[in-house]
A and B are shown apart, each in its own frame.
Chain A
Amino acid sequence: MRLITRVGEWFDHRLQLAAPIREAAGHPVPRNTASWFYVFGSAALTVFLLQLVTGILLALIYVPSAGEAWSSLQALNHQVALGWFIRAMHGWGSNFMVAIVLIHMVQVFLFGAHKYPRELTWVVGVFLLLMTLGMAFSGQVLRFDQDAYWGLGIGASIASRVPIIGPFAVKLMLGGPIIAGATLSRFFALHVFVIPGLLIGFVCLHVLMVLKLGINEWPMPGRIVRRATYEAEYHALTKKDGAPFVPYAIWKDMFFAAFIILAIAACAFYFGPFGPSGQPDPTIIQTAPKPDYFFLWLYALLSLLPPALETPFLLICPPLVILGLILLPFLSGEGEKSWKRRPIAVITVLMIAITLGTFTRMAQFTPWSPHMNAWSGDPVPERYIHGTTALARQGALVFQVKQCRNCHSLGNTGGQRGPTLDSVAVRLTQDQLIRQVIQGGGNMPAYGNNLSPAETTALVAFLETLHPASQGPARDAALDLVLSNGQVKTSGTQP
């Protein structure tokens, strides 16, 4: 025991680190910050360290070459002992990391911790969020499968839309004219060297500022932040009602960190690693690329924005959002901290959460995409042609052969891109049906060039039978009137 003390003293005589560490550990924090709400920052740090360890372990086997990356992932999954588990830990760790960073950010915002004097801590945090998302995207590229390949194409297509420098940005991003070996290598360099290096530096800054400025006190409604008085008030608070960080507050951080690590391990164990999906061979086009979970909302947004708005939205919104996040502590650096007195802050958080959640959910169904394989050539169910004319049955055949159900559902089977056709005859008259089929419109392609007049007549005859038994098909009232007037006129003149 005495030997250990002496060795420790020998080192500290040279390093002189014991005093600052003791000071940092024992610094007083307001008592009520020892709360379960204050554990997300340390949890994010824990997951980051876990990602560093599992990432290094994966790098022992992974080969960052476009020709071999996919096979090396297969080897990790199937040949190397517990390779699948380390891959799963890294993949689930990435999902947990993004989630915890977002929760941490929301908590900090709702507790007013971005206000004076912690503005820079917030700004550094914004960069940490961006780097976390950068790690999530580049990590998805390193899982070099079909999704990664076409995901890079999507990234390149977005980058190309930047005015003037777009085409150069694409070549810089891809490392050449196409998505190939150089592309994977540079994303490997980003994911393994550049972004982690920056992350380590920014995390140190972030934690240093938390130590120097003190943890945000629990916000009390009515306790107003003023630049002139805040720091004196905070020090008075920690003196009057403070307790040393270790062990008073840290035990909750430690419990939560261990809980998160076990949760990631449990997810990794039960759900396994992510992919890789099909080989990154661009000649295999039977694929429906989708981004990872945390970019699904963007995938949905890109499908639903009006085409003319898309490029301005993509180029203007991200810089505006980032600028807004950076400026936030400078625009609202004083005033109320408590969420109970900041209704707009609470509503903003809820709105963003609901919007992102809705888009994410929609992206899981992709109702905007034609169902490419599922319904092509499925026969029209018998009940729809029961008791119809020969012409309508011929139309049902056209409906089947022309793969209308790729986009339209009938009897709850088929795509959701276009409206369901179970009662289309109630909505559209015969003339409107003909016009819609031939000219398209409202997001439907025109089939005029692809259907013979006979096929169109048959198809419309079939569509006209699609109405509930209790409800007749739509009729053009004006046409009825003209026709009936004509009849009255002719009948009047005849005698």
Chain B
Amino acid sequence: MSTNTGTAPPAETALSRRGFFMKLGILFNGFAAIVLALPVARFLFSSITRGRGNGYLSWVPLGNVSNFPEGETRMATFRSPLVMPTDGKTVDTACWVRRIAGDQFQVFAINCAHLGCPVRWFQQSGLFMCPCHGGAYYRDGARASGPPERGLFEYPYQIENGVLTIDAGQLPTPGDPVARLTSEKPPCA
């Protein structure tokens, strides 16, 4: 015992064999952690990376153009392009279709531009109203009153063989409107 303590170098001054292996062990575990962390991070953030560059969006049909009478605003529903087996009814989405005239349309997201609650169309008042915090929009989607800072979100649309289709698939939110912004119009233009 006593001879051993005399010959072994003090731990503070020189690297002992065991100290070296312990450090190597830490390094080896760090390497293992990195090897494991990469696939874990890839899995965890897959919902972001998969949709990079609006990769979630695609053209979905809303129905025949003839379903939407001119000068009226009607609700239409579509199925989200990305469907997982456990989604249930959540992939069915509603939107408001306004046929101005002929092939001129406006397709509004159902989500209020304030905090995403479902807005309702009131034909008589000519307004979209939100039940949550009292946002209101004119028939062209422009902000009328209440907390929203902008007009309703609008989907890009096109007409293919008489079928109205929109570019949809992602929940529009104030920070990520996805579809193009509706321009603010003076209410009394």
- Asked if A and B are interacting partners, one says yes
Q: Which residues of B contact A307 (CB under 8 A)?
A: 146-149
Q: Which residues of B contact A401 (CB under 8 A)?
A: 124
State whether the Cβ of A16 lies closer than 8 Å to any Cβ in chain B. Answer: no
Q: Which residues of A contact B184 (CB under 8 A)?
A: none
Number of interface residues of A (CB under 8 A): 73
Interface residues of A in 364-383 (CB under 8 A from B): 366, 368-370, 372, 376
> Contacting chain A: which of B2-10, B62-70, B83-91?
B83-91
The contact of B134 among A305, A417, A446, by CB within 8 Å, is: A417
Q: Which residues of B contact A66 (CB under 8 A)?
A: 86-90
* Closest residue of B by beta carbon distance from A186: B47
Q: Are B80 and A157 in contact (CB under 8 A)?
A: no
- B-side residues, CB < 8 A to A, are 45, 47-48, 51, 56, 75, 77, 80, 82, 84-94, 110-111, 114-120, 122, 124-127, 129-134, 136, 138-139, 144-149, 169-171, 173-176, 187-188
B interface, by DSSP: helix, strand, loop or mixed? loop
Knowing A439-B187, A440-B145 touch, does A302 contact B176 (C-beta < 8 A)? no
Q: Are B176 and A170 in contact (CB under 8 A)?
A: yes
Q: Are A156 and B125 in contact (CB under 8 A)?
A: no
What are 8 A-B contacts with C-beta separation under 8 Å? A66-B86, A161-B175, A178-B90, A181-B90, A281-B89, A289-B132, A372-B120, A406-B125
* Closest residue of A by beta carbon distance from B75: A285
Q: Which residues of B contact A486 (CB under 8 A)?
A: none
Q: Are B118 and A150 in contact (CB under 8 A)?
A: yes
Instruction: Specify which of B45, B89, B169 lies most central, judged by the most chain A CB atoms within 10 Å of its CB.
Output: B89
Q: Are A67 and B175 in contact (CB under 8 A)?
A: no
* Closest residue of A by beta carbon distance from B119: A285
Q: Which residues of A contact B94 (CB under 8 A)?
A: 282-283, 285
Q: Are B86 and A67 in contact (CB under 8 A)?
A: yes
* Closest residue of B by beta carbon distance from A377: B124
Closest 3 CB pairs of A and B: A67-B88, A160-B175, A153-B116
Interface contacts beyond A153-B117, A445-B127: sample of 12 additional A-B pairs, CB < 8 Å, sorted by A: A67-B87, A150-B116, A162-B175, A177-B80, A178-B170, A180-B84, A281-B90, A283-B89, A283-B93, A287-B118, A369-B132, A403-B122
Q: Are B84 and A182 in contact (CB under 8 A)?
A: yes
State whether the Cβ of A41 lies closer than 8 Å to any Cβ in chain B. Answer: no
The contact of B173 among A170, A172, A289, by CB within 8 Å, is: A170
Q: Which residues of B contact A183 (CB under 8 A)?
A: 90
The contact of B133 among A174, A181, A182, A369, by CB within 8 Å, is: A369
Q: Shortest beta-carbon distance, B72 to chain A, in Å?
A: 14
Knowing A178-B93, A307-B149, A449-B138 touch, does A170 contact B171 (C-beta < 8 A)? yes
Task: Provide the bound-state CA to CA distance between A287 and B84, in Å.
Answer: 25
State whether the Cβ of A308 lies closer than 8 Å to any Cβ in chain B. Answer: yes
